[in-house]
């Protein structure tokens, strides 16, 4: 579509609106700023006077946490797929939470599939403690998929909340597609945030099949973005197959002596990044709490999944 700009309003809060002429008549373009790259929504009226709309997605998510923004000076690529890998209990979901916080603040939606937590109140608590983000302001932008191996299919467990036996490959896609319909696809789009996914590989029946479904999800970058955190400690040889499939790869390690966390970006799609190892400014208490949750989740979930 050929567009000729006619009049542009100044910045208003977090966006501005342009009025322009396109071949089919008058159009309005809304841009969100505060991002490297851009997102715009173009609305116009066709020959039948019916309003039509098309979206152009931004190419960058602005990182507002200084230390991570230093590593990713051009922002985080959107849409894309990402794997954050490292030993169990090393703090991988904490790094993911920072990206989630910026994603929500910049208008995007997040689907959580965090297998290490018994319910999603733990997810909210972890994000709010780390980022000081009031998730109550973003309830419409969030959906949750909880693991329940006692189910054959899916079960609604509340507003924007599904319980599903995602050990079974046929339920994996249905759960994702169902939750995609629960949240708006605006700003940077929808992010599927999965953590502790190694636990699904303990199924003697479906382990390898569900791994293939994870790979397929990582390749669906045009429909939604994906962020998976994986452990090298449990089924590490299998889950490592995801590393080469993702657009972006980050590696996290923890120092047992100093109790510090370190991050290295190995690969990032279409943006410049610093390749050195950097210390993650997260408290010893937060890391200890995460490791405790990780240990408890393994003890609770692995015996259940092993029977499926």
**3-state class (DSSP) for residue 139:** helix
CA 78 to chain centre: 11
Residue 192, H or E segment = strand 190-195
* Bigger pLDDT: 285 vs 224: 224
Q: Once rounded to an integer, what is the mean pLDDT over residues 254-268?
A: 90
State how beta strands 260-267 and 248-255 pair: antiparallel
Lowest mean pLDDT among 48-57, 171-180, 229-238, 276-285: 48-57
Lowest mean pLDDT among 95-104, 152-161, 264-273: 152-161
In degrees and rounded to multiples of 5, residue 290 shows phi and psi of -65, -40
**3-state class (DSSP) for residue 273:** coil
Exposed, middle or buried by CB within 10 Å (0-12, 13-18, 19+), for 243? middle
In angstroms, the CA 307 to CA 300 distance is 13
pLDDT band at 171 (very low <50, low <70, confident <90, very high): very high
**3-state class (DSSP) for residue 107:** coil
In degrees and rounded to multiples of 5, residue 100 shows phi and psi of -60, -45
* The pLDDT value given to residue 132: 87
Exposed, middle or buried by CB within 10 Å (0-12, 13-18, 19+), for 181? exposed
As beta bridge partners, residue 12 has: 15
In degrees and rounded to multiples of 5, residue 194 shows phi and psi of -110, 135
The mean predicted confidence, pLDDT, of the chain is: 81
pTM over 0.75: yes
- Alpha helices by DSSP H, the chain: 66-71, 92-105, 120-131, 169-180, 207-218, 236-239, 284-305
* The pLDDT value given to residue 301: 79
Tens digits of residue pLDDT in 193-251: 999 898 899 999 999 999 999 999 998 766 899 999 998 887 878 888 999 999 999 99
In angstroms, the CA 139 to CA 160 distance is 9
* The pLDDT value given to residue 6: 32
* The pLDDT value given to residue 153: 83
Nearest 5°: the CA angle 83, 147, 300 is 95
Tens digits of residue pLDDT in 53-70: 444 444 789 999 999 999
Tens digits of residue pLDDT in 138-169: 999 999 999 999 998 899 988 999 999 999 99
- Are 39 and 56 within 8 A, CB to CB? yes
* The pLDDT value given to residue 296: 73
In angstroms, the CA 137 to CA 81 distance is 26
């Amino acid at each position: 579509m050929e567009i000729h700009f006619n009049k542009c309003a100044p910045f208003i809060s977090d966006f501005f609106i342009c009025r322009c002429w396109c071949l089919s008549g008058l159009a309005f373009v809304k841009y969100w700023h505060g991002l490297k790259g851009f997102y715009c929504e173009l609305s116009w009226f066709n020959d039948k006077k019916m309003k039509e709309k098309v979206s152009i997605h931004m190419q960058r998510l602005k990182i507002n946490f200084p230390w991570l923004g230093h590593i990713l000076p051009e922002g985080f690529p959107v849409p894309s797929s990402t794997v954050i890998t490292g030993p169990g209990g090393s703090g991988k979901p904490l790094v993911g939470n920072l990206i989630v916080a910026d994603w929500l603040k910049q208008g995007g939606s997040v689907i959580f599939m965090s297998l290490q937590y018994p319910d999603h109140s733990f997810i909210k608590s972890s994000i709010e403690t780390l980022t000081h983000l009031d998730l109550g302001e973003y309830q419409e932008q969030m959906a949750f998929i909880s693991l329940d191996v006692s189910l054959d299919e899916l079960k609604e467990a509340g507003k924007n909340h599904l319980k599903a036996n995602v050990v079974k490959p046929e339920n994996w896609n249905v759960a994702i597609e169902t939750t995609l319909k629960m949240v708006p696809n605006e700003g940077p789009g929808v992010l599927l945030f999965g953590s502790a996914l190694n636990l699904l590989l303990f199924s003697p029946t479906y382990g390898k099949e569900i791994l293939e479904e994870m790979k397929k999800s990582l390749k669906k970058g045009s429909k939604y973005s994906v962020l998976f955190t994986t452990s090298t400690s449990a089924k590490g040889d299998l889950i490592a197959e995801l590393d080469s499939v993702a657009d972006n790869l980050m590696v996290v390690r923890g120092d047992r002596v100093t109790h510090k966390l370190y991050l290295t970006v190995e690969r990032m799609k279409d943006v410049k990044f610093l390749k050195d190892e950097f210390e993650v400014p997260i408290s010893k208490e937060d890391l200890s709490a995460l490791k405790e949750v990780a240990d408890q989740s393994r003890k609770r979930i692995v015996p259940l999944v092993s029977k499926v």
